[in-house]
Structure 1
Amino acid sequence: MFQTFNAPTRPEAGPPRLAALRAALAENRLTGMLVPRADAHQGEYVAECDARLAWLTGFTGSAGFCAVLPEIASLFVDGRYRVQARAQADVSAFDIVPWPDVRLHEWLTEHASRGATIAFDPWLHTVREIKQLRKNLAGTGVTLVERDNLLDTIWSDRPAPPVAPARIHPNALAGQTAAEKRSELASKLKATRHDAAILTQPDSIAWLLNIRGDDIPRIPVVQAFAILHANARVDLFTDPEKLTGLDNHLGPEVTVHPGDAFPAALHSLGGTVRLDPDSAPLAVQLALEAGAATPVSGRDPCLLPKACKTQAELDGAEAAHLRDGAAMVEFLCWLDDRAAKLPDTPLTEIDVVTALEGFRAATGQLRDISFDTIAGTGPHGAIVHYRVTTDTNRSVAPGDLLLVDSGGQYEDGTTDITRTIPIGDIGQDARAAFTRVLQGVIAISRARFPRGVAGRDLDALARFPLWLAGQDYDHGTGHGVGSYLSVHEGPQRLSRAGSEELRKGMILSNEPGYYREDAFGVRIENLIVVEPAPDLAGADPKREMLAFRTLTYVPIDQRAIDIPALTVQERGWLDTYHAECRSRLEPLVSPAAREWLDRATRPLN
């Protein structure tokens, strides 16, 4: 319904494309080139026309980059994607390099000759990224050269840019009008003596102007750039046809320009102009410096207000999660029924994805899935961001753990949930791993912490049960989530790199995991929101404390738990959680699903 199952790329296409790129480099007297996953907006997800890394290498993961030299080309991916990269790329043409264990400057220093010139497209790399890379390469004899993208010259059948129409996001769901948001942010620009701020991230622009679109699969945004001025006016740069019929909503203080007018507008700006070095392409800074403006580094002004949800957005998130939770219960009831018929009636990963997306669609309020549904059974569960295709479609078998990570985009909220389901007897190793992951989920869910604490301060709580067993996982414990926007939203996150202070209204995921390659994977994920902690007797009244409130209410499969390994407090949390699941969801599901829900939420023995 929403997801297709064709193989997104072909590994065998990589070597001839790599050869063509090397020929173009040689013709232009360049030693090598960087090919990132990113587009000009530096988003995690890209339109088909910007999927350069996938076109060249075959790798379709949401993070990574390729470095091409005359004799070697390497695909850099982190721990989430190494199994996937080896499966999707032709490893005879592309080395798979573990990043960040191996840094790009280290690789270039080792493999590039002294005097090498490495080309990069300044629209596809951030200000901070290139600044740091140049600093690290100082004295090595390797030079970075910004230039037009040579890969685009050999991509003969490159798709056209998206032109999906934009739509209004209701003020009642946003909790603020666009005019109110513009006024508040403009006041902050004035306070810092900035004349304007450059907005390059589509989700920031969508949030600011209370619009949504369909330019990017799964993410309801309009691809655009914007300049927010200190007088609260906005210059918006995108295909004007996308905004047909939105004149009254945008109002006279928002001026729409064609997208290709953005570089000239940057060049003509004056005054002090803020740009975010972590998300703005280097090309933006170069255009400002070539004109009359004085660019200064500063955070995207939309970032924190977007992350700290309004009460209307939190109310919408609760409603979306109840609706989504009911669909999940219907799905899990269906899945148990189908699993009971194995092996006589086959069940595949594609069957699982199709059924789940069908239950979500049956709500009548689903706008899209929030990312391609992950349904990995057995060894496929160990591929963190596995995406089933007709070529990889595996049958669910007794003894498997089935990992299902999915979510929905509803007008009132974005959901993201993972459940790992045992298919029959899963064995003691898998049961022990499932229990440790569950203990990590519970530890985060129960956390109380003083104001000022960041995600990195809490990340270890989720890992501690695994660490005691000599185990871990190679992804963050949690990411921020938008309000009918990106399912992955910064700056908040629960991870070792999560330096942002956790603030009231931030929504995050809580998703520890464990993955044994070629065997099984476990991940359990709920979404949580930061709020003031409940009062405690004896607590210091002068110390402001925060806590997490769970938004996701879907049973966690008790059949995979080593119940004696849980503490009294952990058992109490799970029983309370399951009682809440039953209370909230019973009125929303079918009679058959209600019976299943009653069984799935019984107190632990």
Structure 2
Amino acid sequence: MFQSFEASSSPEQGPPRLASLRALMAQRGVDVFLVPRADAHQGEYVAPRDARLEWLTGFSGSAGFCAVLSDVAGVFIDGRYRVQVRAQVADDFTPVHWPETQLADWLPAQRPNGGKLAYDPWLHTVSEIAGLREKLSGFELVTTDNLVDAIWADQPAAPSAPFTAHALEHAGEAHDAKRARLSAALKETAAVLTLPDSIAWLLNIRGTDIARNPVPQAFAILHQSGRVDLFAGAGKTAEIADHLGPDVTVHDFGDFIPALTSLQGKVLIDTRTCPDIVASTLKEAGCDVVQGQDPCILPKACKNPTEIAGSKAAHARDAVAMVQFLSWLDTEAPKGALTEIDVVKALEGFRTQTNALRDISFETICGSGPNGAIVHYRVSEKTNRPVQIGELLLVDSGGQYIDGTTDITRTIAIGTPTEEQRACYTRVLQGMIAISRIRFPQGVGGQHLDALARAPLWMAGMDYDHGTGHGVGSYLSVHEGPQGISRRSEVALKAGMILSNEPGYYREGAFGIRIENLIVTVDAPALSGADAREMLSFETLTYVPFDRRLIDADLLTHAERDWIDRYHSDTFALLAPRLDTQTQDWLAKACAPL
């Protein structure tokens, strides 16, 4: 399953491709062209056909965009990728720290006299373009066919694998019931759905169009009657016709725009995820376009009891593989012969041995020493380095199982760690514990909780440049909205939402530390007292031991020590009966009380 990551572009390929794009821009009379990471469905991960940003620049991160001008090409990247981008792009491209620097501020500084800004209306959202029109008054925004596609001679074909049905025993609710529930609450005559995971959830279908994420690339229209028009590639739904039933009508992708023009009355779109071309088409057809949230977003995020039970089963299964891996690593790493690729292959092998793995849930992040400081590092033959004694090894990985999606990070000491490494690790662990233990009122969003995970690091003058947690799907995308734990996450957390809990600390050129469990939001046990309010809390889903060698118990409070000991006791009780004797012995030592 492991494939050493090799980019579709390299630093030396970027300049000639950039020159070709600029030549076409000049021919078309375009002063600025935007190249986003996103595809027409606005997913975080894209098919090889849609990897335009990577093909042009060499940058392979999961977020960002490039603004190409005649004399400068800015690659906008967030804090996760500021180390990575310098290694992946040529000097012809200029990294821009984003979102601290917005395109609307950067662009006028590059072209004070404005100009013609062209964009592919399939690849930018309604709200994004509206914001640019408002802030870039000196620029003329125009739509165009994709200029990167026009110069990409060997662009891969679109995904063609068929969709599959997601059984009721795993979904927990039939798709006709979901359609009826959502359409009953729909005030508009129809809602346009453009997110693959929303469509997957609504119709209980899955696909293989995006590597590691079992989503079907499709568009859909949910009508007030509960009927759905589904737009997908030719032949992709032939095997699930009976599952979809008579109230789901399948059309070819090419019929999507004509179908929009035939709609009447009020039509709901989510401007944060809907391609700009959808809104413009509906307006031209005379529809009353209503801006609102994708109606599948919150129902999908709040997992039902069947999905939560499935997630717990998947996590227990995945934890067995993780513990077998960690036991193996403790034996093999001190021998000095392992590389990062060896570690990735071994971990994926243990997951495969569960005989339940459908796929890994994302490309495994395995960073040894300084590579661990690259937040979303992906090992390649060029970057592969030995796992060396005295260094830290950061392993962030997960599995896609039919009953749930997992995501776990553990940082492991190879040999005896330094006191500085132990202190940094312990502060990260304290932040994770703070999130795990918190009770909070209804209506609280992730932005209110984020500081809890950072506080132990802040007290030592440290921080990390990524969110503390993201939503996770149910055999769907490993990164799922709208829920999250970050400074920008305003969505109120609700029971049933699954999130990651993953604070970290990264010292460029030295090491990276991240510790991650998945948690599910639950109703908190009631407290006595007249003023006790209804509260929410988190239940931990991930049970895999932390590296005790890296825990400085002197930095912990009594409550934190008790939490770790209880967590390790629960971990041993859950996993020991599923392990062979040798791995049981390793687990017993790993879970010993502090």
TM-score band w.r.t. shorter chain: over 0.9
Give, in whole Å, the separation in 2 of the partners of 1:593 and 1:539.
49
Give, in whole Å, the separation in 1 of the partners of 2:208 and 2:363.
15
1:497 aligns with 2:497: no
Match of 1:566 in 2: 556
Give, in whole Å, the separation in 2 of the partners of 1:250 and 1:589.
41
Match of 1:375 in 2: 366
Match of 2:44 in 1: 44
Q: Which amino acid in 2 is paired with 1:501?
A: A
Give, in whole Å, the separation in 1 of the partners of 2:576 and 2:473.
27
Aligned partner of 1:417 among 386, 390, 408: 408
Write out aligned runs for 1:362-401 (5 A): 362-401=353-392
Give, in whole Å, the separation in 1 of the partners of 2:408 and 2:479.
13
Match of 2:159 in 1: 162
Match of 1:54 in 2: 54
Give, in whole Å, the separation in 1 of the partners of 2:542 and 2:565.
15
3-state SS of the aligned residue for 1:197?
strand
**RMSD between aligned residues:** 0.9
1:338 aligns with 2:332: yes
Match of 1:127 in 2: 126
3-state SS of the aligned residue for 1:274?
strand
Q: CA deviation at 1:115?
A: 3.8
3-state SS of the aligned residue for 1:500?
coil
Aligned partner of 2:501 among 510, 526, 549: 510
Q: Which amino acid in 2 is paired with 1:114?
A: N
> C-alpha deviations, 1:485-510, integer Å up to 9, x for none?
00000000000001000000000000
Q: CA deviation at 1:10?
A: 1.4
Q: CA deviation at 1:202?
A: 0.4
3-state SS of the aligned residue for 1:227?
strand
> C-alpha deviations, 1:124-159, integer Å up to 9, x for none?
110111111111112xx2222111111111011100
Give, in whole Å, the separation in 2 of the partners of 1:450 and 1:115.
48
Write out aligned runs for 1:263-274 (5 A): 263-274=257-268
Give, in whole Å, the separation in 2 of the partners of 1:424 and 1:116.
58
Match of 2:87 in 1: 87
Q: TM-score, normalised by structure 1?
A: 0.97
Write out aligned runs for 1:227-266 (5 A): 227-266=221-260
Query: Are the counterparts in 1 of residues 334 and 389 from structure 2 also a CA contact under 8 Å?
Result: no
Unaligned runs of 5+ in 1: none
Match of 1:97 in 2: 96
3-state SS of the aligned residue for 1:12?
coil
Aligned partner of 2:529 among 532, 538, 544: 538
Aligned partner of 2:279 among 285, 299, 308: 285
Give, in whole Å, the separation in 1 of the partners of 2:114 and 2:322.
57
Q: Which amino acid in 1 is paired with 2:555?
A: A
3-state SS of the aligned residue for 2:432?
helix
Q: CA deviation at 1:430?
A: 1.5
Q: CA deviation at 1:36?
A: 0.3
Q: Which amino acid in 2 is paired with 1:225?
A: F
Give, in whole Å, the separation in 2 of the partners of 1:299 and 1:41.
15
Q: CA deviation at 1:540?
A: 2.9
Q: Which amino acid in 2 is paired with 1:290?
A: E
1:593 aligns with 2:583: yes
Q: TM-score, normalised by structure 2?
A: 0.99
Q: Which amino acid in 1 is paired with 2:147?
A: L
Q: CA deviation at 1:113?
A: 4.3
Give, in whole Å, the separation in 2 of the partners of 1:63 and 1:505.
27
Match of 2:136 in 1: 137
Give, in whole Å, the separation in 2 of the partners of 1:400 and 1:449.
38
Give, in whole Å, the separation in 1 of the partners of 2:134 and 2:287.
25
3-state SS of the aligned residue for 1:144?
strand
> C-alpha deviations, 1:350-369, integer Å up to 9, x for none?
00000000000100000000
Q: CA deviation at 1:292?
A: 3.0
Q: Which amino acid in 1 is paired with 2:13?
A: A
Query: Are the counterparts in 2 of residues 7 and 389 from structure 1 also a CA contact under 8 Å?
Result: no
Write out aligned runs for 1:180-329 (5 A): 180-189=177-186, 192=187, 194-329=188-323
Give, in whole Å, the separation in 2 of the partners of 1:476 and 1:110.
29
Q: Relative to 1, partners in 2 of residues 1:469 and 1:323: Cα closer, same or farther, differing over 3 Å?
A: same
Aligned partner of 1:443 among 410, 419, 434: 434
Moved more, 496-505 or 420-429: 420-429
> C-alpha deviations, 1:566-603, integer Å up to 9, x for none?
00000000000000000000011222211110000000
Q: CA deviation at 1:7?
A: 4.4
Give, in whole Å, the separation in 2 of the partners of 1:125 and 1:87.
27
Query: Are the counterparts in 1 of residues 572 and 588 from structure 2 also a CA contact under 8 Å?
Result: yes
Query: Are the counterparts in 2 of residues 2 and 368 from structure 1 also a CA contact under 8 Å?
Result: no
Query: Could you tell me the percent identity over the aligned residues?
Result: 60
Q: CA deviation at 1:301?
A: 0.3
Q: CA deviation at 1:101?
A: 1.5
Match of 1:153 in 2: 150
Q: CA deviation at 1:105?
A: 0.9
Give, in whole Å, the separation in 2 of the partners of 1:220 and 1:544.
36
Give, in whole Å, the separation in 1 of the partners of 2:128 and 2:577.
51
Provide the aligned length of Structure 1 versus Structure 2: 594
